[in-house]
Amino acid sequence: MEIVMICVLVFLAGFVDAIGGGGGLISLPAYLMAGLPVHNAIATNKLSSSMGTTVTTIRYARAGFIQWNIAIVCLVFAIMGSSLGAHLALLIEDTFFKRIMLIVIPLTACYVLYPKSLKEKEPLSKQMTIAISSVVAFGIGIYDGFYGPGTGTFLLILLTSLAHLNLQQANGITKVINLTTNYSSLIVYLLNAKVLIPIGLLAGAFNMLGNYIGSSYFKKGSFSVKPIMIFVLVIFFVKTIIEIIG
């Protein structure tokens, strides 16, 4: 029953992740609720999520949603940011950062609910778009290395609001960044024998299916994005409160 629960929730996580990001908010708790030790849960989740994100990234690339001239630069800054974030995590108490998120998450939700928050904006110059996107990638990269949940959602919001990318472009670049950080983390966990490979591969197949369906659903229009993002942010908020109380 634990395996069935993991597969069902990881499928849902893949679907959510393909549309609005933040699938890890669903998949990681699935592994933890199944009784996996924390490090094994995080490591195995990286395996299954990497498989799913690969599917979405490929489909977005084939559909022309990824602007590679921006994505490659963002990828470099994201790796630098995530490395810095991981080092900061060793210096700063996790509880302090979670308390900050109790303020950030509601503000993010309010922005998403704002009628024009995800509307397409007038494109910026190529140089300005790359510069802003790089700063976003670096900043969220720090967050992803330090804590992680909701990274895709935050990237999508910031790339559309600050860099003026449309939803398809922002989602494509988000997938490239997430895919790189997932594989980088996965290699570390594999080298340290923390990944439960059989479970991860099985769950990964369901995650790939969820990502495949979700990436197709996203093409139907941006109307589906806001409810998914609010759903993810609510889960994130509740999860953060529970962790602080616990």
The predicted-structure confidence for 136-176, as pLDDT tens digits, reads as follows 999 988 887 777 667 788 888 899 989 989 887 888 899 89
Percent of the chain scored above 90 by pLDDT? 21
The whole-angstrom separation of Cα 224 and Cα 208 is 20
Question: Distance between CA atoms of 196 and 155, rounded to whole angstroms?
Answer: 29
* Phi, psi of 36, deg, nearest 5: -70, 140
38-52, 56-70, 209-223: least confidently modelled range: 209-223
> Domain range spanning residue 229?
2-245
Say yes or no to pLDDT of 209 above 90. yes
Q: To 5 degrees, how large is the angle CA 47–CA 152–CA 239?
A: 80
Distance separating alpha carbons of residues 90 and 164, to the nearest angstrom: 34
- Contact criterion met (CB below 8 Å) for 208 and 52: yes
Q: Which tens digits make up the pLDDT trace of 81-130? A: 888 877 776 677 667 766 877 887 787 777 667 665 566 678 788 899 99
Total tally of structural domains belonging to the chain: 1
Share of the chain above pLDDT 70, in %: 87
Mean pLDDT of 74-81: 89
First to last CA, the chain: 26
Give the pLDDT confidence score for residue 90 in this predicted structure.
62
CA pseudo-torsion sign 212, 23, 230, 152:
negative
